[in-house]
Amino acid sequence: MKVLVCVKRVPAPGAKINITADGLAIDTAYLAFTTSPHEECAVEEAVQLIERHGGESTVLTLGPAEADEQLRYAASIGVNKAVLLPIDSAEWDPQRTAAAITSAIQGIEATDGPFDLILFGNESADAGNFQVGVRVAHALARPIVNGIKGIEIDDDSLRARRESDAGVEVYSLTMPAVLGVKEGINLPRYPTLKGRLGSKKIEVGQVVAEAMLGGQQMVSLVQSSEPATATIMLGNGPEAAPAVVDLLEELGILK
């Protein structure tokens, strides 16, 4: 089978997000970059599906030239092919992103044949627009279900599990299909040394990204205000235990 995974390069902030002086971007001067954990799991799932059923996996991203790093990371854990849709900024609006990804997929499928399964993250880590995968699937006239935490494949049919407040929902799809994956579907492996060396050599295909602006345009980023709390120190080490238990009683947790 042929599986495609779409990932987005995002900064990896730690304790705090700092914004650039113009308010238009995250200050990434001291930050590493990554993809959403949902997408990391989608990549791992693609690799596992190919290990189990045979075939070929491809990773695709629309982003700055530096997003090459995220493509090669996916290759280092076992994805076979990589495609970059280079853009001049860190991101495009979700409609525009979806349109560009759709036409790239159509182009790839016209020469190489259709993907049986396309995996997206449930939502991107930074923007969290909750829509790029849905728009692409609709444009390709393929079914999509989001929030997937389990996939079983049997010939052309696919069973996908999703968690809800009430329990687990099961969806039964026929491929070609598209799924939005959530972290927890698997435990992503770490790249091996051999995998890392191999990923340096793969050729990253380039597709020109072309699409019209969408109706949602970012104006600025603002830090969400957090009330400054004065932390009450209950003490140091095990000697603090009586103070902690006093607190548990005071809060009505220990009755």
Ligand X SMILES: Cc1cc2nc3c(=O)[nH]c(=O)nc-3n(C[C@H](O)[C@H](O)[C@H](O)COP(=O)(O)OP(=O)(O)OC[C@H]3O[C@@H](n4cnc5c(N)ncnc54)[C@H](O)[C@@H]3O)c2cc1C
Ligand Y SMILES: Nc1ncnc2c1ncn2[C@@H]1O[C@H](COP(=O)(O)O)[C@@H](O)[C@H]1O
Q: Which does 242 bind (CB under 5 to 8 A by kind): ligand Y, ligand X, another protein, none?
A: another protein
Closest by CA to 173, choosing from 115, 117, 105, is 117
Q: Which does 34 bind (CB under 5 to 8 A by kind): ligand Y, ligand X, another protein, none?
A: ligand X
DSSP 171: E
Among 34, 95, 122, 186, the residue binding ligand X under the rule CB under 6 A is 34
Among 51, 128, 152, 192, the residue binding another protein under the rule CB under 8 A is 128
**Smallest gap from residue 125 Cβ to ligand X (A):** 3
Can you give the binding site for ligand Y, defined by CB under 6 A? 6-8, 36, 38-39, 61-63, 91, 94, 97, 101, 120-121, 123-124, 127-133
Instruction: Between 36 and 186, name the residue whose CB sits nearer to ligand X.
Output: 36
Footprint on residues 236-255 left by another protein (CB under 8 A): 236-245, 247-248, 251-254
Among 68, 126, 196, 198, the residue binding another protein under the rule CB under 8 A is 126
| Both tokens assigned to 195 | 């995998």
Q: CA gyration radius for the chain?
A: 22
Element (H, E) at 57: strand 56-63
* Alpha carbon distance 9, 94 (integer Å): 14
Q: What one-character-per-residue DSSP string does 189-201 give?
A: PPPPHHHHHHHHH
Beta pairing class for 2-6 and 117-121:
parallel
| Both tokens assigned to 89 | 């900024």
| Interacting residue ranges for ligand X, rule: CB under 6 A | 12, 34, 36-37, 125
